Copies of this chain bind each other. A is one copy, B any other.
Amino acid sequence: MTEVAAPRRGRITPEREAELYAAVLDLLREVGYDSLTMDTVAARTRASKATLYRQWGGKAELVARAMRHHKPGGAADTDTGSLRGDFYALLSHEDDTDLEESSALMRALAMAMHHNPDLRRAFRELIIEPELDELNRAIRRAVDRGEVRADNSALDCVPHMMIGALITCAMIENRPPTQAFFRSYLDAVVLPVLGV
């Protein structure tokens, strides 16, 4: 279900870990990254700051791991036999509520990431790269099947199209992204540009 690496010391249960992560994400949505402190996390979760630092090292890693934990699916690649099917399967990991939350969290972190190299590194490693890997595996299968040409010049831009749609939907259309929006975007933009 989750790909979060084991905590550094085996001191807390998976249930407690999940509870802590949920509290971190709540705080992040409420106050943003800059105002979130280990003190507020400790107070909200009745954990000791020493435990938080021992387990996660610092705020950036705690936040990135909380987001990673929250991401559903991703454990096994779904090979549906077509690129459209694989993209739809990737998308179905997150229902509309998940998508709205992801979109809100991305916005909450976009500014902070710019100013915090630690957060940027943790976010890239735990969120962006696993997502890119999943996308790229689906694309590689499509190339191997002959569904997409290996020299299609849009291949490198698929992540920009997908993540861009997630962020801009809220900005341009003033509404959170939904599964239906993503499916129509895949059909109108991403798949045609790949020649599918």
Contacts and interface: CB of A to CB of B under 8 A. Distances in A.
A73 interface: no
A124 interface: yes
Interface of A (DSSP majority class):
helix
A111 B164 contact: no
Contacts of A111: 32, 107-108, 110-111
A13 interface: no
A168 interface: yes
A171 B128 contact: yes
A168 B159 contact: yes
Q: How many chain copies does the complex carry? A: 2
Interface stretch (A36-44, A76-84, A90-98, A186-194): A186-194
B32 A171 contact: no
Interface string A94-120: 000000000010011011011000001
A174 B111 CA distance: 13
Interface of A: 32, 34, 104, 107-108, 110-111, 113-114, 120, 124, 128, 132, 153-154, 156-157, 159-161, 163-165, 167-172, 174, 184-185, 187-189, 192-193
11 contacts: A107-B111, A107-B114, A114-B170, A124-B174, A153-B187, A154-B189, A157-B165, A157-B188, A160-B169, A161-B161, A189-B189
